[in-house]
């Protein structure tokens, strides 16, 4: 990323700088007892009045923690951001926010995405922040931080954590998640030894940063950049590359200019910006999770995005990023060397609205005009894509009597023979029962069966865990099979692959049609027709519905109870109903007495 790209710390209109009243002056400016307390407590921390007087206060929301390996470099990067803020004449203040560690947080980080969104919004509202730097990257932190910043709507810029370095084992390049599943099945099949497995374990994650496959983390940080909320090129830089340090510092400088320009998310997050984001996601071969998060983010911004917007784009825009798991060869480090998101956007510029405003104060077109692709096998030309819309594209939305509100499939990540498949269902109501059954080598299952896991959606999971890449039955693995059609109301990791149909809505836990499916029922999926159907008569389904009983509540108190009462379904973005923009009037500024 060039030093010039998006820095411009002096911002735009200096006349505006002299006239604009900073939000933080409500805390520090008045000659009253309450502001005396604010100033004296700031001085208690060692600051002088010249540190804040006439300067924008920049809140740096840092999601670092000791249990989040994706963000372990943020302890240092926040200092780089602060350096940039200070250089540009701002007053930086670090505000820790909840760290949603994809690896360790249970039952799933998705349950807590909206908690981070609420925390981000309220931190920015409750404290004297004129602008915000949002530090995230691990899957749910990007949408969580952006949801909160959108609702608060003060100038904000996103600093992505960046992907980790390539994994390595016995001379083989490893991709996080994708190779975990691959070698786990090889271990179960007896093709590798426990010692080999320990070698994979030690070599697959070698540095700070997010998954280096095109999983949910890299998908969502690229989407943030495509919308215009990060500096050009920011999302592709590996976490431990020195360019990442410079990007963090440049972001700190730029946010000060954004405050003087009053460049808020509401000016950037237009319908065209979200169309750009969806187009970029399709060209990347994105994670299925992008659908849920982008729908939630767009609706917070007052933009009515839905499943059909993704399906429409998938038919038109080819997958040109050869990055695993949708691609066959490369990882995010290679993608960065090949030119990164800016180069990919330049290559698909015919599908983009180039006039959209970004955090640089310039348009998308200006930002990507000089971006070049340095490796045509990593970022393919449009006439030599990895996959086309005719083959299903990056993501496909299916509908039918099993999923009247839609479900999602990633056809580019499975054998085309599963694009049209019909077979008997093998249904499980919970993960432990399913796991035990699939580990049994005597299980009566064939490669034509359709594995089904239900009660794993937004409320049933709870929190819609990444269980959707259901384990292959041990019996079939030992017979040499590595894929089969699998259905669930759960999500799956963006690093996953296979013939998995996900996000079935409404979910079974609330009585969606998936709750009525029985083992032995015939299920038919047709990607070209965008259909998913259980071959059960309407009369039989009506009898089953009359006999269906709602499951017991997952939570009877606390945050889980709140989520159970307010989380929307997958096709609506899983946001809390009371956080959505149209729920009520905008929240006023806090009173200060």
Q: How many domains does the chain have?
A: 2
Residues in the chain: 593
22, 25, 36, 284, 555 from 478: Cα distances, Å: 66, 68, 73, 33, 39
Q: Are residues 399 and 364 in the same domain?
A: no
Residue 244 lies in a domain: yes
Residue 222 lies in a domain: yes
* Per-residue pLDDT at 345: 98
Q: Are residues 209 and 60 in the same domain?
A: yes
The proportion of the chain whose per-residue pLDDT surpasses 70, expressed as a percent, equals 97
Q: Are residues 230 and 364 in the same domain?
A: yes
Q: Are residues 343 and 438 in the same domain?
A: no
Q: Are residues 435 and 506 in the same domain?
A: yes
Q: Are residues 408 and 335 in the same domain?
A: no
Residue 463 lies in a domain: yes
Question: Which tokens sit at 122?
Answer: 């309220």
Q: Are residues 427 and 345 in the same domain?
A: no
- Inter-residue contact 203 to 250 (CB < 8 Å): no
CATH number of the domain that residue 470 is part of = 3.50.30.80
Q: Is the dihedral of CA 376, 378, 379, 381 positive or negative?
A: positive
Residue 589 lies in a domain: no
Residue 133 lies in a domain: yes
Of 320, 352, 369, the residue at which a domain comes to its end is 369
* Per-residue pLDDT at 16: 45
Residue 347 lies in a domain: yes
Q: Which residues have C-beta within 8 Å of that of residue 195, sequence separation ≥ 6?
A: none
Residues forming beta bridges with residue 136, ordered by sequence position: 160
Tens digits of per-residue pLDDT, 468-496?
A: 999 999 999 999 999 999 999 999 999 89
* Per-residue pLDDT at 390: 74
| CA–CA gap between residue 225 and residue 244 (Å, rounded) | 15
Residue 579 lies in a domain: no
- Inter-residue contact 100 to 141 (CB < 8 Å): yes
**Which residues of the chain register pLDDT less than 70?**
1-20
Predicted TM-score (pTM) of the model is: 0.95
Q: Are residues 360 and 490 in the same domain?
A: no
Q: Are residues 343 and 483 in the same domain?
A: no
Cβ burial, residue 355 (10 Å; 0-12/13-18/19+): exposed
CATH number of the domain that residue 364 is part of = 3.40.50.2300
| CA–CA gap between residue 542 and residue 548 (Å, rounded) | 10
Q: Are residues 415 and 539 in the same domain?
A: yes
What is the per-residue DSSP string for 364-416?
HHHHHTT---S-TTTB--TTS-SB-GGGT-S-EEEEETTEEEEEEE-GGGS-G
* Per-residue pLDDT at 20: 65
Q: Are residues 224 and 275 in the same domain?
A: yes
Of 354, 369, 384, the residue at which a domain comes to its end is 369
Q: Are residues 161 and 225 in the same domain?
A: yes
Domain containing residue 354: 55-167+204-369
| CA–CA gap between residue 455 and residue 436 (Å, rounded) | 17
* Per-residue pLDDT at 140: 97
Residue 44 lies in a domain: no
């Amino acid at each position: 990323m060039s030093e010039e790209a998006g820095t411009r710390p002096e911002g735009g209109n200096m006349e505006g700088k002299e006239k604009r009243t900073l939000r933080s002056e409500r805390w520090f400016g008045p000659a009253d007892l309450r502001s005396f307390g604010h100033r004296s407590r700031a001085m208690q921390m060692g600051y002088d009045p010249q540190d804040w007087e006439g300067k924008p206060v920049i809140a740096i929301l840092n999601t670092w923690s000791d249990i989040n390996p994706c963000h372990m470099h943020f302890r240092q990067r926040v200092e780089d951001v602060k350096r940039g803020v200070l250089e540009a004449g701002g007053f930086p203040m670090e505000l820790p926010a909840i760290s949603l560690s994809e690896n360790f947080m249970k039952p799933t980080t998705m349950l807590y995405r909206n908690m981070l969104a609420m925390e981000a919004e309220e931190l920015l509202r409750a404290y004297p922040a004129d602008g915000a730097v949002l530090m995230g990257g691990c899957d749910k932190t990007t949408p969580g931080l952006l949801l909160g910043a959108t609702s608060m709507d003060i100038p904000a810029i996103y600093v992505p954590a960046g992907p980790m370095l390539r994994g390595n084992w016995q001379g083989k390049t490893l991709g996080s998640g994708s190779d975990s599943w691959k070698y786990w099945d090889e271990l179960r099949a007896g093709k590798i030894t426990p010692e080999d497995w320990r070698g994979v374990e030690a070599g697959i994650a070698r540095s700070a940063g997010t998954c280096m496959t095109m999983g949910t983390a890299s998908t969502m940080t690229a989407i943030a950049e495509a919308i215009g909320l990060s500096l050009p090129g920011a999302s592709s830089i590996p976490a431990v590359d020195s360019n990442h340090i410079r990007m963090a510092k440049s972001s700190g400088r730029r946010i000060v200019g954004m405050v003087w320009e009053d460049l808020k998310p509401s000016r950037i997050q237009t319908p065209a910006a979200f169309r750009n984001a969806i187009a970029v996601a399709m060209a990347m071969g994105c994670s299925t999770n992008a659908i849920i998060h982008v729908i939630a983010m767009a609706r917070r911004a007052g933009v009515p995005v839905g499943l059909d917007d993704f399906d429409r784009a998938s038919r038109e825009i080819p997958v040109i990023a050869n990055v695993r798991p949708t691609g066959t060869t490369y990882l995010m480090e290679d993608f960065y060397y090949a030119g990164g998101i800016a180069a990919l956007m330049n290559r698909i510029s015919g599908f983009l609205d180039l006039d959209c405003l970004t955090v640089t104060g310039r348009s998308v077109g200006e930002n990507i005009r000089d971006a070049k692709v340095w490796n045509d096998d990593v970022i393919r030309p449009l006439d030599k894509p990895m996959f086309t819309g005719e083959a299903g594209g990056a993501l496909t939305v299916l509908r039918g009597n099993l999923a009247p509100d839609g479900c999602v499939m990633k056809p580019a990540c499975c054998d085309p023979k599963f694009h049209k498949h019909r077979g008997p269902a093998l249904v499980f109501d919970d993960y432990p029962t399913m796991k035990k059954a699939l580990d049994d080598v005597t299980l009566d299952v064939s490669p034509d069966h359709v594995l089904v896991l239900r009660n794993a959606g937004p409320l049933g999971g709870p929190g819609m865990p990444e269980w959707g890449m259901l384990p292959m039955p041990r019996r079939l693995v030992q017979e040499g099979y590595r894929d089969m059609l699998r259905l669930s109301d759960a999500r799956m990791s963006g690093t996953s692959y296979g013939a998995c149909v996900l996000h079935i809505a409404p979910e079974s836990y609330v009585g969606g049609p998936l709750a009525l499916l029985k083992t032995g029922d015939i299920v038919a999926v047709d990607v070209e027709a965008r259909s998913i159907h259980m071959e059960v008569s309407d009369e039989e389904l009506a009898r089953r519905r009359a006999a269906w009983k709602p499951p017991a509540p997952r939570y009877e108190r606390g945050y889980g109870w709140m989520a159970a009462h307010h989380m929307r379904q997958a096709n609506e973005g899983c946001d809390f109903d009371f956080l959505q923009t149209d729920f009520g009037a905008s929240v006023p500024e806090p009173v200060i007495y």
